[in-house]
Amino acid sequence: MTENFSSTAAFIWSVADLLRGDFKQSQYGRIILPFTLLRRLECVLEDKKEIVLAKYDEVKYMPPEAQEQILKHVAELSFYNTSKMDLNHLGETGVGDNLEAYVRAFSPSAREIFEHFDFYNTLDKLAEADLLYKVAKRFANTDLHPDSIDNHHMGLVFEELIRRFAESSNETAGEHFTPRDIVHLTTSLTFIEDNDVLTQPGIVRTIYDPTAGTGGFLSSGMEYVHEMNEKAKLVAFGQELNPESYAICKADMLVKGQDVDNIKLGNTLSNDQLIHQDFSYMLSNPPFGVDWKKVQKIINDEHKVKGYDGRFGPGLPRVSDGSLLFLLHLISKMHSPSEGGSRIGIILNGSPLFTGGAGSGESEIRRYVLEHDLLEAIIALPTDMFYNTGIATYIWVLSNNKPAHRKGKVQLINASTDDKENPENNFNASMRKSLGSKRKYLPDESIEKIVRLFGEFEASPEGTKQVSKIFDYQDFGYRRITVERPLQLSFTITKEKLDDYYQQLLEAERNKQPDLTDLPDPPIGYAELSTLPEGTTLMSRDEFLKVIAPAKPSAANKKALVKFFGEHNDDAEICYIDSGKNKGEIEPNPDLRDYENVPLKEDIYAYFEREVKPHVPLAWIDETKRDEKDGQVGIVGYEIPFNRHFYEYKPPRRLKEIDADLDKVSAEIMQLLQEVHS
């Protein structure tokens, strides 16, 4: 068997030497990947080719579905080809037409891959550049027969080609590829808790990626299991929106011997093509900060109609970022704990940690995850780790079958440190050459360290660099209580204010009658208030209403007059509600309404007495504002303020040091100026 898959991949990629000048570097993969797949498939089919062709002559007039079943059975594979041609027998003329006919003779699932690669258009472009025969001949002479390279190693070769394609694509790579170091770390964190299970003989498990891209996570999962147990079987499932990425993923699964019918094309959120299926392991790197407006109606309908029987029962995030929808989608596909449960590794940006206050869709999703004890750990990654963004990112590790020592607990691991003064504290290393926005990577030793921290499940010792912390899930919860203060109004009556009141009403009437110069009648209450001495201040709403009572104002007039002339005054008389079911109770001032987030583990009344009452003695908690789920006072919210938990105070530099630096810079500037003048 070929052990050095990198050298095989390098040999195949050397086809780029033929393409250079006629094609852009970012186009190489679109040629090399489908040709590699084509050569591998014909090598795999070689031993059964004559038998398949003979059987095809017998069944070619049967319905397509029957043909397919029979020919797959004869080929003993999930694909076949009914053409007599191969890359060694294309002829020297009409190569393009012959090659296209050859590809169209594959079974539907294999043929579809080439169609999504836009392979026929690629053949035309190669023919125009007079390179088609040369490229086809190069691949025809490449030995990819299963006797020389098995499915596992062929998969590694194909992954290496995908990696090279990703790097050559540079800035656009992040739309389709997750960097291999991140894939390796996420996979290891997701599988490590099941190492004992995965070593059992004959074990069969499933792996799923709803944003499969080119299949990096699926491949990484299979590699992990293969290293643990060569006899274990991991069946891959996935769905991908981008046709080219879908083609690469499906091709990769095909060369690995997977059933490619498990790989679907389409929008996972609006058209889940693996509905009602659940999986052992799930890995995903959904797009960061991408809105879901285009599929909003479908998702809203599922949320409203199906509730918790659907995928989005806990809540919906804001339309501007659909990351948490993918998290809910994965959670909906977990095996039940009685069947062994499932594990999830998903990469998210920072906003799902804290966006949205108590009662919001984001908070309710976090609440569901934490209160159902699904979250095992969150790992903060360094910035500048991805091809198309430099933002902060986090790996969430979830399980619905936690080991006993993790029950009710959440581990936070801070692998994002970028300590220039003490680089030994850093997990990342700088790349020699940036790839798009990717300027850093995780060395193998850093990945091992992070996985070890996760596996040990211990908080960093006091006095050392705080990298790992353990929390109860309730530590991230709080109750948002509504704090009310009494309405206390004073009324100061001046000629200026009366004139302003008159002008305000006049302007309102002029909107209806533009030619109006004066109001036909004085405003209600105007005459009564005008009789008061200039600058009179009434410290009671009741007194103010008594003054205007002779004008017989309506309820609307009273409200308008109180709103215009009344001002909050802590020394004024407290207002009471004078009608309705709450008559006689203190009337709250909506302008002074405030909210307090009380830690979930703390009694809201004790907190209120300690933190609020000393500052606003007349305040009270509005006990009508209760949580819909538990019925208690205050709306429950959850947030995970990751950075706050790892914040380290650094005192500012001493003024002497700053002055010394300024003097040094000033001297350098003066020296430069002298050199210019001389």
Residues 6 or more apart whose Cβ sits within 8 Å of residue 65: none
The reply to whether 110 falls in a domain is yes
- Among 243-247, 381-385, 628-632, 652-656, whose mean pLDDT is lowest? 652-656
d(CA 470, CA 509): 66
Q: Which of 163-177, 354-368, 584-598 has the lowest mean pLDDT?
A: 163-177
The stretch 127-140 carries a mean pLDDT of 91
Give ∠ CA 252-258-262 in degrees, rounded to 5.
95
Average pLDDT score over residue span 309-320 = 95
Residues 469/377, Cβ–Cβ less than 8 Å:
no
**Quick one: CA dihedral 611, 613, 615, 620, positive or negative?**
positive
Residue whose pair of structure tokens reads 């990425």 in the numeric block? 245
Q: Any idea which residue has 């903060």 for tokens?
A: 380
What is the chain's Cα-based Rg? 35
> What is residue 174's predicted lDDT score, i.e. its pLDDT?
45
Confidence (pTM): 0.85
Q: Is the pLDDT of residue 140 over 70?
A: yes
Where does the pLDDT of residue 550 fall: very low under 50, low under 70, confident under 90, or very high at 90 and above?
Answer: very high
Specify the DSSP class assigned to residue 624: T
Give the H or E element holding residue 134.
helix 132-140
Query: Tell me, what's the pLDDT at 420?
Result: 67
Calculate helix-pair angle for 495-510, 555-565, nearest 10 degrees. 130
Q: Under 8 Å CB-to-CB from 678, ≥6 apart: which residues?
A: none
* Average pLDDT estimate for 584-612: 96
User: Lowest-pLDDT range, 152-156, 211-215, 648-652?
Assistant: 648-652
Q: Which residue has the higher pLDDT, 37 or 156?
A: 37
Q: What gap in Å lies between CA 433 and CA 114, rounded to an integer?
A: 33
Structure tokens at 277: 């299926």
Residue 217 belongs to a domain: no
Q: How far apart are CA 628 and CA 307, in angstroms?
A: 15
| Lowest-confidence pick of 72-76, 546-550, 656-660 | 656-660
Q: According to the 3-state scheme, what is the secondary structure of 93-123?
A: CCHHHHHHHHHHCECHHHHHHHHHCCHHHHH
Instruction: Say if CB 267 and CB 240 are below 8 A apart.
Output: no
> Residue 64 sits in which domain range?
1-149
Mapping DSSP to helix (H, G, I), strand (E, B) and coil, where does residue 657 land?
helix
Q: Domain for residue 629, yes or no? A: no
Angstrom distance (rounded) from CA 541 to CA 488: 8
Asked if the model's pLDDT at residue 85 lies above 50, the reply is: yes
**Which residue among 117, 149, 181 closes a domain?**
149
- Model confidence pLDDT, tens digit, residues 560-589: 999 999 999 999 999 999 888 889 999 999
Provide mean pLDDT across the span 492-519.
90
At 356-394, the pLDDT tens digits run: 999 999 999 999 999 999 999 999 998 888 877 778 899
As a three-state string, the secondary structure of 33-87 is HHHHHHHHHHHHHHHHHHHHHHHHHHHCCCCHHHHHHHHHHHHCCCCCECCCCCC
Sign for the CA dihedral angle at 358, 415, 167, 347 comes to negative
How confident is residue 114, by pLDDT bands cut at 50, 70 and 90? very high
Judged against a pLDDT cut of 70, whether residue 678 lies above it is answered with: no
What pLDDT is recorded for position 171? 45
The percentage of the chain sitting over the pLDDT mark of 70, rounded to a whole number, equals 97
Sorted by sequence, the CB contacts under 8 Å of residue 73 that are 6+ apart come out as: none
- Residues 271, 106: Cα–Cα separation, whole Å: 27
| Residue 204, SS3 per DSSP | strand
Sign of CA dihedral 643, 285, 28, 33: positive
The span from the CA of 400 to the CA of 616, in Å, is 45
Residue 457 resides in a domain: no
- Cα dist. 426→572, 583, 649 in Å? 60, 63, 18
209 is a domain residue: no
Span of 108-117, 224-233, 560-569, 637-646 with lowest mean pLDDT: 224-233
41, 256 in Cβ contact below 8 A? no
- Kind of pairing between the strands at 204-209 and 233-240: parallel
**Domain limit, last residue, from 517, 537, 568:** 568
**Cβ-count burial of 429 within 10 angstroms (0-12 exposed, 13-18 middle, 19+ buried)?**
middle
User: Contact 421/399 with Cβ under 8 angstroms?
Assistant: no
* Residue 648 reports pLDDT greater than 50: yes
Last residue of a domain, one of 118, 149, 180: 149
| Residue ranges in 274-383 assigned as alpha helix (H) | 296-306, 323-331, 351-354, 361-371
Looking at the structure of the chain, the number of domains it has is 2
* Residue 101 near residue 83, CB atoms below 8 Å: yes
Helix, strand or coil, per DSSP, at residue 343: strand
Share the mean pLDDT of the chain. Answer: 90
Task: Please tell me the predicted confidence (pLDDT) of residue 173.
Answer: 46
Question: Residue 27: inside a domain, yes or no?
Answer: yes
Assign 594 a pLDDT band (cuts: 50, 70, 90). Answer: very high
- Residue 590 DSSP one-character state: G
If you average pLDDT over residues 221-234, what whole number do you get? 87
Q: 421 pLDDT band (50/70/90 cuts)?
A: low
Strand partners, 20: 23
Q: How many helices (H) and strands (E) are present in the chain, helices listed first? A: 26, 18
Alpha carbon distance 642, 381 (integer Å):
12
Cα separation, 673 vs 671, whole angstroms:
5
pLDDT exceeds 50 at position 2: no
Question: 620 in a domain, yes or no?
Answer: no
Is residue 555 domain-resident? yes
Residues 250-308 have pLDDT tens digits of 988 888 888 889 999 999 999 999 998 999 999 999 988 889 999 999 999 999 999 99
Predicted pLDDT of residue 627 = 96
Alpha carbon distance 218, 239 (integer Å): 11
Helix axes 180-191, 216-228, angle to 10 degrees: 50
* Residues contacting residue 240 through CB under 8 Å, at least 6 positions apart: 211, 212, 213, 246, 249, 263, 264, 265
Q: Distances in Å between the alpha carbon of 342 and those of 280, 315, 336, 372? A: 5, 22, 8, 14
184 phi and psi, to 5 degrees?
-60, -45
